[in-house]
Amino acid sequence: MILNREHPETEWVFVPLKKAFLEFLNSDRLPMVNQFLKDIFDKGKNVSRANLQNLIVKIFPLQLLLNIKQVANYLFTKLKEPDFDIFYDKVYLYFLDKCSYNYSEKDLDNFVFENSNCVFRATEISDEGAGKETVELKYTSIKQPDTVFKLERENGLDTVYVVDGKQISFYSKNVNLVENKLTATKLLTNIWADISWEGIASEGGVKFKKGKKPERLIERCFELATNEGDFVLDSFLGSGTTAAVAHKMNRKYIGIELGEHCNTHCHPRLKSVCDGTDQGGISKMLEWKGGGGFKFYNLAPSLLNKDKYNQWVINPNYNAQLLAATMARQEGFTYNPNEEVIWKQGYATENHFIFTTTNTITPDIIEQILSELKPEESLRICCVAFLEGCNDISSRIEIKKIPDMILGKCEFGKEDYCTESNIINMPTDPNEPAFVPSYVKSDVKPEPARIKKDSPITKRSCGRYGQA
């Protein structure tokens, strides 16, 4: 929405429609809201959630309008921001909405009707369907972002306004006075018919028949719902469009895909985005040249399988290191093997450790470990078997049996999981050079991704991406 449409287009001020509507509803409360946000930022840092609730009640005169616990929980997470301006941008609309009296869609419709000459949608300009001057203005505006360009036309045609490569289409064209009442001739809708689907087959350098979305469609969703640095999750990544657009728009992202196209589509596509060789989709609009990186993970095999006697046993694909890392994560420990002490494979606190072994634990082994334990240290042992009496030797050593200790925590022996476990980051070499996209090396020509498909633990794949 444009707040000052009556001014020359070079002075227009743009705000989200919801913000304009909420500020209209709360025009008499805005000073109070702004003062509260300043006070809560100054006084609410480093306090508990309970104390934050008490602080809100104390310093906000309209606290009876709020669900105090809900608002406190939201503000508690945002108060971690070190800068007030960032904090304000993240919480202002949320808090303004919570302060508003109950309003209906009809109230919003009336606001739109009454301000239809200021409410607009940014629509795509087709290179084939639009006039030559409009298309030229489109590319001029892309090179000069956040600037409004005007094209005055003859023969009674409406003036065209363009910003950031998109045309400003005012809603006033869809509102008429019927029986002395403003009425929509075309509903304000969230159906976007202006984004072309032509040519998307080649976007990202991968083909995904009847499954692809235009990058510009995803870009619009991100513009409306996210800010730079926000996380985006796509649990059905498909051809990787969500991750590619998120990367180009400086969003963090997680993508999950169980199909083989995780290897054949998503991985190569993200690699070309980082290398800068992907110049399709929104790349030219954003002047994307490459950069950043991503992490790619495979879903590990089931930790437990049933043997021919229908008993749960440890999957033989798990070597000692992978089993130790998995059990540490399952038990809430940080996997970090000590090079000098074999039974210190991970830690939960400075003095509480975990040790996983496929050997049978005996009293002699317990006594040996106990002799090495410092007085303030304790240990949890995960093993496949242990002899009677081992758990009674010392209260500082706890023994748990695999698989009994993890049955019920997640599903096993399946190809599609609903798990409570998280991805384990295996130890990395601190001397390994950092990822450098090949586009920054003039002597290196980007190569297509080479995917190994014969890994014994990747019958199905799970991709997880995060921008570096």
- One domain, residues 93 and 120: no
Q: How far apart are CA 215 and CA 242, in angstroms?
A: 8
Residue 89 has pLDDT above 60, yes or no: yes
- One domain, residues 112 and 177: yes
Q: Which CATH number fits the domain that encloses residue 331?
A: 3.40.1350
pTM beyond 0.85: no
- One domain, residues 125 and 169: yes
Is 228 inside a domain boundary?
Answer: no
pLDDT on residue 268: 92
pLDDT in tens, 299-334: 777 777 777 767 767 777 777 888 888 889 888 899
Residue 360 pairs in a beta bridge with 385
Q: What average pLDDT does this structure show over 245-249?
A: 94
Peptide bond into 403 cis (omega under 30): yes
CB 98 within 8 A of CB 66: yes
Q: How far apart are CA 416 and CA 443, in angstroms?
A: 43
Q: Provide the number of structural domains found in the chain.
A: 3
CB 127 within 8 A of CB 13: no
Higher local confidence (pLDDT), 415 or 264: 264
Q: How far apart are CA 228 and CA 246, in angstroms?
A: 9
Q: How far apart are CA 10 and CA 23, in angstroms?
A: 24
**Token representation of residue 95:** 């808090």
Higher local confidence (pLDDT), 395 or 178: 395
99 burial type by CB count under 10 A (0-12 exposed, 13-18 middle, 19+ buried): buried
pLDDT in tens, 184-229: 665 555 556 556 655 566 676 666 666 678 888 898 888 878 888 8
Q: What average pLDDT does this structure show over 45-53?
A: 89
Is 260 inside a domain boundary?
Answer: no
**C-beta atoms surrounding 423 within 10 Å:** 14
255 burial type by CB count under 10 A (0-12 exposed, 13-18 middle, 19+ buried): buried
pLDDT on residue 191: 58
**Angle ∠(91,95,100) on CA atoms, nearest 5:** 155
- One domain, residues 396 and 312: yes
- One domain, residues 143 and 85: no
Residue 244 has pLDDT above 60, yes or no: yes
pLDDT in tens, 423-445: 445 455 556 655 544 444 444 44
Is 17 inside a domain boundary?
Answer: no
Is 20 inside a domain boundary?
Answer: no
Domain hosting 126: range is: 106-184
**Which of 83, 99, 115 finishes a domain?**
99
